[in-house]
Amino acid sequence: MNPHPHAGHRERLKRRMLDQGVASLEPHVVLELLLSYSIPRRDTNELAHRLLAQFGSLRNVFDAPLQDLTAVSGIGAHSAFLIKMIPGLSRVYIESSADIPSTILTTEEARQYVLPRFIDTRQEKLLVVFLGNKNQVLAAEFLQEGSLATVAINTRQIVDRIVQHRATGILLAHNHPDGFAIPSPDDISATRKLKLVLDTMQVKLLDHIVVADNDCISMRDSQLL
């Protein structure tokens, strides 16, 4: 008796992926093939369909919290961990392979710089990019999680980092994980308050980019700064 009755089927899926690319695979096939590495001795087709039925889409499966994944019958800790690795690996790959500018002078360069950093980010975060006197990138840090209504509380932290990096300008970016790339009234108010502080330091606020999925809006281009 064949100890691996599904080996032939999996080999065909692997060959299809190698020949045609992952994009050619149906969502359940992507999961089926992925799960075969954490569950090598079982048919993972039914389990893949179960995950899609539970979460509704491939993206929702990858974005699901670890505890929600392990609550699905048949998904153990190893399988859940493997699933959760995919978005993070995608972000690392894109960051390492993308043509990310080392100097930010335009909105398009700002977009190219910040978008890869928000892949696999399902919680609202504030990214601060510290710039030199020729707008060269000195450093970039996530300094805050939560609503942008609380930015004013963390102004001192941002100022301290500006001094630490000897920056003469900054670029802000934050994401709307479950919404649209449209600045909220709180976003605008908090950004303008921070700008007043930066103006007294003669530190330029280059822009504030609001990100949602692969879309983004520039507050400067929108004449909100």
Q: 39 and 138, same structural domain? A: no
Ordered per-residue pLDDT tens for the chain, 225 residues: 445 555 677 788 888 888 888 878 899 999 998 999 898 878 888 999 999 999 999 888 998 899 999 999 999 999 999 999 988 887 777 766 655 678 899 999 999 898 888 876 777 888 999 999 999 999 999 887 765 544 445 888 999 999 999 999 999 999 887 778 888 888 888 899 999 999 999 999 999 999 987 788 999 999 988
How many structural domains does the chain have?
2
Q: 146 and 86, same structural domain? A: no
Q: 109 and 59, same structural domain? A: no
Domain assignment of residue 128, given as a range: 101-218
Q: How far apart are CA 42 and CA 31, in angstroms?
A: 13
Closest to 121 (Cα-Cα) out of 80, 91, 77:
91
Q: 32 and 78, same structural domain? A: yes
The DSSP 8-state label assigned to residue 211 in this structure reads E
